[in-house]
A and B are shown apart, each in its own frame.
Chain A
């Protein structure tokens, strides 16, 4: 069972940088494991804490948030707001006894297809090591 564990990762990517970076990974045919489901948002700053919590409660094995590099945000400072929120959220997860390292925030620019692929690969491997989200057992999907 553990060997065949395929993590399910939800990725919230901003329209301008991270989503476009993921596109570039594709157009450049850079390969990464098929464990990520990309959801496009306008800005990483709009990632509400519930967007992260709900998938985790529902059994996602990890949540990736991708935004523009600091200083590069299409909306000037949305990515800083995301960073602030994710830091706070991770603290809350930790205090609730939940493994906060299932939530990743990464800066990926439109030209960093390689970085996107690498990030997904690393995250998939890291989560494989952690094993399934404990919340998920109650689903038994």
Chain B
């Protein structure tokens, strides 16, 4: 019998992509089962200390190496341990073992392998690890340090719990079980199987590292100082085995010369694809080494430098020019070792092409990406196809769908890719699922009224404490032995009892466990408390839990204060119990002082306008519009040109063989026929105001200006091929651009048949302008060169290039072009190709052949220039209208290069397609679906909440000095003429609570002290330090 689809999705793989997809689905009101086969979430990214090209510490950007993640609304807020999104169920240490049914009604069978630790009762005291006698290599540190059989991946993991990796010895030892103070460990726990009904499945399985021992000649495993790149990442990470100090494995010496060998497990016979990430991570690793020890020599041996994404080329330049990282074009075929010193010896050509020997202290193998372990079996079980490389097979124009309907794919399982693109994939797959489950989208959606997440309707009405004297209750958590083993908690409690406003003090064994929570709730009610202080552990892990407990018995969450006497006290002063107890008392005193001044904070609810404005009607804009409309929301699509299609109108074939014109027709027909999409062509957005959920815009159409209201905005204004006059372009008709050539090949192929020679020049950038890689040109050249060879096999085809950037599986087209006889000649800045018309009127191209070390002269019948792709005209004007920034390249600049590539910092505005950066059609589609998915999370929200912890201006004190306007990192404050400031002067500052991010920077700067940050008011903070100094200060 056919069952109704349920609004539930299985996400398989809990790395960064699975987490991102899960959050977006949950926010859109769908139920998510996030299944991970390891004991913790975070995947590969959790092992990385730094990201390129931002060098952020990844930890606060939303991964679980350090658990908390950052609450930039990136991927992490729903993954704080005590604040998991109510729509997400995390199932770690779990495998999928069976699948039945079809899209809309799958039944999956999951098998949960026991971890032997009850995550709900684990308090992370670490006693079990202390008594465990079984050391094992740590997989998290890539075997470079040891862990016990009972262990945690990293100090902060997610779920935040220890697990037992049961070995035979555990049966008789059982020390961990005995020592656990909360009885969380049960070595008898058994495997559980469970069936779930879901409507769709997203695969985010990640990737495996290629095995460097396969390349015996490179010495990995034989020479101690040859390591692979993931080992280097751990060594360079602050949370790594050496706390960020890179040392030689053989003798612990700081290396003075490090070599990176690229393409280990990529671009060779066995792995004939490019892993896409290694060039950049090697650059990052070299820069990190340089940053740490300035005089270290870093040399990267590579074939092409593939810096093909936003800001990457600038990063690559910076590595060379500022940091002095050396790049050598050579594929090293053998590594030798000096057995005395364990130094490594490489042979490579120097700048003149003569072979030299180089001695290095350390060699890092940049290992490539392989399909994830076990994916072949899983693919069979799921009934999905894999591509020839073993990655998930997808269709060019449906890049997030597997071959089986209802099963989607994201991240590196479909092709090797970096974090930003993984995030785009994940958000895109979530967006794709939202259109499949359009009837269920929004079913379980709710807004963020409080700092914690709770299902709507589950909380009692809030108690009004206005005008009441503070009745503060203090709970001192013993958390034995973590706190009470060091701090004299009874003395702390006794001390707390004497503090002003405190009416009740209690010690509790474990405040966070069920029984502790119940005690706190009962006491709040029985003692009629109106303020709560919990002296326990970190705000970052447990504040939201205690806020929720208080709210569950009617107290506003902002009336709760936490004193961190575990991480900041007991654990940091274990050898000084007296000092620790003194610190604990003072921390409690601070919290009590602050609680006494705490006031309830409420956020203002608004209902979002349930419609989207999409700017730009190319492949990205149309895809985004269709995705949103299919999910059940209205879309206004604005296109400047008279017709839809954008650049896609001029693309007639693609290297993979699919037909882009069919995609174009299909998209245009569906957009024009969709009842939820209104299309305005020959129209432009001329104004854009308001904030997320409540934007108001004006569109200028041929019939006049139209005002529209919308909840979200998507920018899909695309890019355009540069047509500046270089190399005789525009002066000689034999000189054409890549798009022109495509037009000739498609519409006038006979022109090709008569040619003897065609020359391509790659990376044609107008002087003084573009300095970035346009990403698509190399592959386009491969497709055009192959077509020319097909039409006219005798035509000589020469490609003049700087770096061939056929990343991912596109490498095969480079290989194919070479097999067809296309010639490739590298040029560099010192040897730019020269183009002129000679005396006979022939086109003459002169290039330098580096291996022959001589000039070559060509007389092509056609010269095709791979021109840079630039932001489309008017981008700057639109950025101004939307009040969003542009990148150094002139494209729109997103909120965060890696973690939020489709979001603007200005909430509710999203970005996709070539307006972000040049990209391929399939990437535009993914990106558009990602933007659409993110937009739907807002459109599906019943109520949005604004305000809360934000800066508030007391206009009666404001002198209108503009300091806040200049100080705000986000340009939120404005001085409004209609507002009245101090002394009745016209013009006072106003801060939109819907936009303020609550950093408080303006409050620190305001000379009139007219601005206060809610819940962090000056009177609260200034009171705090006083609390720490002595009785008399408080009196």
Count of A interface residues, CB-CB < 8 Å: 64
B969 proximity list for chain A (CB < 8 A)? 45, 73, 75-78, 81
By a CB distance below 8 angstroms, the chain B residues around A91 are none
Contacts of B1032 in A (CB 8 A): 139, 141
Cα distance, A58 to B153, chains bound together (Å): 44
Residue B239 at the chain A interface, CB threshold 8 Å: yes
List 15 A-B residue pairs with CB atoms under 8 Å apart, sorted by A's residue number. Answer: A22-B568, A26-B570, A34-B572, A34-B573, A39-B590, A39-B1024, A51-B1022, A55-B1026, A69-B57, A72-B57, A74-B60, A74-B999, A75-B999, A82-B1004, A109-B60
Residues on B with beta carbons closer than 8 Å to the beta carbon of A40: 539
Tell whether A105 is near chain B: CB-to-CB under 8 Å: no
Asked if A141 contacts B999 (CB within 8 A), the reply is no
B372 touches A (CB below 8 Å): no
Contact of B192 with A by CB under 8 A: no
**In the complex, A36→B1032 CA distance in Å?**
20
How far, in Å, is A47 (CB) from chain B's closest CB?
6
Q: Is residue B59 contacting chain A, with contact meaning CB distance below 8 A? A: yes
Task: State whether A37 touches B571 (Cβ < 8 A).
Answer: no
Please tell me which one of the listed residues A28, A50, A113 contacts residue B1018 in the complex, with CB atoms under 8 A apart. A50
Q: Which of A30, A32, A74 contacts B70 (CB 8 A)?
A: A74
Does A48 contact B1003, Cβ atoms closer than 8 Å? yes
**Contact indicator per residue, chain B 42-85, by CB within 8 Å of chain A (1) or not (0):** 00000001000011110110000110101010000000000000
B88-96, B199-207, B579-587, B852-860: which one contacts chain A? B579-587
Name 6 extra pairs, CB < 8 A, besides A71-B55, A72-B60: A10-B1028, A20-B60, A46-B1003, A110-B57, A111-B237, A139-B1032
Tell me the minimal C-beta distance from B534 to chain A in angstroms.
14
For residue B967, which residue of chain A has the nearest CB?
Answer: A81
Instruction: Output the residue of A16, A31, A48, A111 with the most chain B CB within 10 A.
Output: A111
- A20 — nearest CB in chain B belongs to which residue? B540
Quick one: given A46-B1016, A109-B57, are A19 and B539 in contact (CB under 8 Å)?
yes
Give A45's nearest chain B residue, CB to CB: B1001
Contact between chains at B583 and A110 (CB < 8 Å) = no
Q: Which of B984-1028 contact A (CB under 8 A)?
A: 997-1001, 1003-1005, 1013, 1016, 1018, 1021-1022, 1024-1026, 1028
Q: Does A8 contact B (CB under 8 A)?
A: yes
Q: With a 10 A CB-CB cut-off, give which of A10, A24, A30, A110 has the most chain B CB atoms.
A: A110
* Of the residues A31, A37, A55, contact of B573 by C-beta under 8 Å: A31
Count A/B pairs, Cβ under 8 Å: 198
B568 touches A54 (CB 8 A): no
Chain A residues with Cβ below 8 Å from B70 are: 16, 74
Query: Are A24 and B66 touching (Cβ within 8 A)?
Result: yes
Q: Does B759 contact A (CB under 8 A)?
A: no
Are A112 and B238 interface neighbours, CB within 8 A?
yes
- Which B749-774 residues have C-beta < 8 A from chain A? none
Interface contact B1021-A42, CB-CB below 8 Å: no
A33 to B1021, CA, bound (A): 24
The residue that A45 contacts in the complex, of B243, B569, B587, B999, with Cβ under 8 A, is: B999
Report which of A19, A75, A77, A110 forms a contact with B66, defined as CB distance below 8 A: A110
A75 to B1013, CA, bound (A): 15
Q: Which among B54, B60, B949, B1022 is the interface contact of A17 at CB below 8 angstroms?
A: B60
CA distance A29 to B243 in the complex (A): 14
* B997 engages A75 (CB within 8 Å): yes
Q: Closest residue to B581 on the A side, CB-wise?
A: A34
| Chain B residues whose CB sits within 8 angstroms of the CB of A75 once the complex forms | 969-970, 997, 999, 1001
With CB as the reference atom, state the residue of chain B lying closest to A139.
B1030
In the docked arrangement, what's the CA distance between A75 and B995, Å? 13
| A-side contacts of B170, CB under 8 Å | none
Q: Which of B243, B571, B590, B1016 contacts A27 (CB 8 A)?
A: B571
The verdict on B566 contacting chain A, using a C-beta distance below 8 Å, is: yes
Known: A24-B66, A58-B1033, A141-B1030. Is A34-B243 also a contact (CB below 8 A)? no
Closest CB in chain A relative to B39 CB, distance in Å: 18
B582 → A minimal CB distance (Å) = 7
Interface string of B531-551 (1 = CB under 8 A from A): 000000011110000000000
Nearest chain B CB to A88's CB is how many angstroms away?
A: 11
A50 and B238 within 8 A (CB): no
Closest-by-CB residue of A relative to B72 is: A74
Known: A17-B60, A37-B590, A59-B1029. A23 touches B538 (CB 8 A): yes
Q: Which residue of A lies closest to B56 (CB)?
A: A72
Q: How far is the CA of A15 from the CA of B541 in the complex (A)?
A: 12
Rounded to whole angstroms, the CA-CA distance of A76 and B47 in the bound complex is 25
CB contacts (< 8 Å) of B540 on chain A: these are 15, 19-20, 23
Asked whether, in the complex, the Cβ of B1001 is within 8 Å of the Cβ of A23, the reply is no
The listed residue with most B CB atoms (<10 A of its CB), out of A26, A35, A82, is A26
Alpha-carbon distance between A51 and B243 when the two chains are bound, in angstroms: 33
User: What is the 8 Å Cβ interface bit string for chain A, positions 86-105, against chain B (1 contact, 0 not)?
Assistant: 00000000000000000000
Query: For residue A77, which residues in chain B have a CB less than 8 angstroms away from its CB?
Result: 969, 1001
Do the beta carbons of A26 and B1028 come within 8 Å of each other? Answer: no
- Residues on B with C-beta less than 8 A from A35 are 579
Find the B residue at minimum CB distance from A40.
B539
In the complex, A55→B568 CA distance in Å? 20
Residue A117 CB within 8 A of the other chain:
yes
A22 to B151, CA, bound (A): 22
A114 in the interface (beta carbon within 8 A): yes
Closest-by-CB residue of A relative to B1003 is: A46
- Which residues 576-608 in B have Cβ within 8 Å of A in the complex? 576, 579-580, 582-583, 586-587, 590
A139 touches B587 (CB 8 A): no
* Distance between Cα atoms of A49 and B239 in the complex (Å): 34
In the assembled complex, which residues on chain A have CB atoms less than 8 Å from the CB atom of B72? Answer: 74
Q: Is A123 an interface residue (CB 8 A)?
A: no
Across the interface, which residues of A come within 8 angstroms of B567, CB to CB? 22-23, 25-27
The residues in A between 101 and 141 inclusive whose CB is less than 8 angstroms from any CB of B are 109-114, 117, 139, 141
Write the nearest CB–CB distance from B315 to chain A, whole angstroms: 13
B1028 and A37 within 8 A (CB): yes
Q: Name the residue on A nearest B569 (C-beta).
A: A34
Note all chain B residues with C-beta closer than 8 A to A58. 1025-1026, 1029, 1033
Q: Are the C-beta atoms of B539 and A117 separated by less than 8 Å? A: no
Q: How far is the CA of A29 from the CA of B582 in the complex (A)?
A: 18
In the complex where A19-B539, A42-B949 touch, is A54 in contact with B1025 (Cβ < 8 A)? yes
A24 to chain B, nearest CB (A): 6
**Is B124 among interface residues, defined by CB-CB distance under 8 A?**
yes
